[in-house]
Structure 1
Amino acid sequence: MSKRRKLAWTGGVLVLAAAVTLFLVKDPLTMPGSHRVEVYGLNEEISGETQDPPGFLGRTLGMCDADTYYAQDGDKKLCLVLNGPLGQVPAARKDGKVTVAAADVPKLRQLAGEDTTLVLMAGGPAAVIPVAALTDGQPVSVSALS
């Protein structure tokens, strides 16, 4: 193999490794196991569903506009306005669900304060958790956002 060809292969491998590393660091929930995620309150008055998703750049950045995060919950396209960060909790993603262990549910309740809905952020919105769904002594498991 020529020297030029080796350099091209090496460069390609390095770019691929950098892209994979950036992806995994940006959203730790893509890795197996439990990871610390930021907890935010959802400003329900100005958050909601949208008929038209943002353009390519907006979807790439995960934003509907300058202060609104874009996420999909199944077929629903959401623009979420967040309050916080309120704190951190460990969470894990598996089989399309984000789960917070039973031991951390009281902390979620405490972080919620006046908020009625929480959003877990891991490189972007990972899950929406209604505070009413939190039961002490039981883990909370909700659909993962994409």
Structure 2
Amino acid sequence: MNVQVAAKVTHRKVKAVAAGAAVAAVLSAGFAFLGDDAVPSGAHTVQFYTVDDEISYPASGDRRPGLLSRQLGLCDGDTHYVEYAGGGHCLVLDGPLGDITAQGGDQGAVLPPATHGEVLDLVREQAYGEPTTRVILEYDGAFVGVVSLSSLDAASPVTATPID
């Protein structure tokens, strides 16, 4: 009788583990495909954050977060995981600093020249420590692009580097 009880318990454990694995797989797939991270065609309001370059770092090797953390977009409690320009990055963000208008389309988020001065002014207002070199754009709850502040010259539109 003990063998039958042990077999039933083992069978139930196997089912529980399989069910747990199935739920984890569905959740991971759901996070991977949740929403469309691109800015749709036309003019849209996006929020922007500055990147604290002093404490942000490339997420490679032993500094790369695990699969679940990457799916959730976190390196740790206050550091966001984003992939752009061919690699992963753990970024500490300040903001949102404000809303600006970006043009969406096939090329990604584009900042028209009229917004450049506003972005630079708001970045200067909150500046402390090391100078800020880049901002992150957020649309509809998702990070969609990275913009180097050195590219904002008020003369021509700037296309953000898309976040994968």
TM-score interval, smaller chain: 0.7 to 0.9
In the alignment, the residues of structure 1 paired with residue 155 and residue 95 of structure 2 have an alpha-carbon distance, to the nearest angstrom, of 25
Q: Do the aligned residues in 2 keep the contact of 1:120 with 1:127 (CA within 8 Å)?
A: yes
> Is it true that 1:63 corresponds to 2:63 in the alignment?
no
d(CA) in 1 for partners of 2:96, 2:49: 5
Aligned mate of 2:41, from 32, 37, 41? 32
What do residues 80-120 of structure 1 show as CA deviations (whole Å, max 9, x unaligned)? 10011110112234334321111111111112113332111
Give the 3 Å change call, closer, same or farther, for CA 90–45 of structure 1 in structure 2.
same
Classify the secondary structure of the residue corresponding to 1:58.
helix
Q: Distance in 2 between matches of 1:41 and 1:103?
A: 19
TM-score after normalising by structure 1: 0.72
Post-superposition offset of 1:44? 0.2
* Map of 2:135 onto structure 1: 118
Q: For residues 129 and 41 of structure 1, do their structure 2 counterparts lie closer, same or farther at Cα, with a shift above 3 Å needed?
A: same
1:132 to 131, 150, 164: 150
5+ residue gaps in structure 1? 1-18
State the secondary structure of the residue aligned to 2:35. Answer: helix
C-alpha separation in 2, matches of 1:96 and 1:69: 24
Alpha-carbon separation, structure 1, partners of 2:85 and 2:149: 21
For 2:44 and 2:78, locate their aligned partners in 1 and report how far apart those are by CA, in whole Å.
Answer: 25
Distance 1:92 1:64, change over 3 A: farther
1:46 paired residue among 33, 38, 55:
55
Count matched residues: 123
> Residues 64 and 92 (structure 1 numbering): CA distance in 2 closer, same or farther, change over 3 Å?
farther
Residue 51 to residue 28, structure 1, CA distance change in 2 (3 Å): closer
- Contact 1:62/1:124 (CA < 8 Å) preserved in 2? no
- Contact 1:69–1:125 (8 Å) recurs in 2: no
Percent identical: 32
Unaligned runs of 5+ in 2: 1-29
> How far, CA to CA, are the matches of 2:106 and 2:117 in structure 1?
24
103-112 vs 56-65, which moves further: 56-65
The reply to whether residue 85 of structure 1 matches residue 96 of structure 2 is yes
Q: Give the superposed CA RMSD.
A: 2.2
Q: Tell me the CA shift for residue 73 of structure 1.
A: 1.2
Higher radius of gyration, 1 or 2: 2
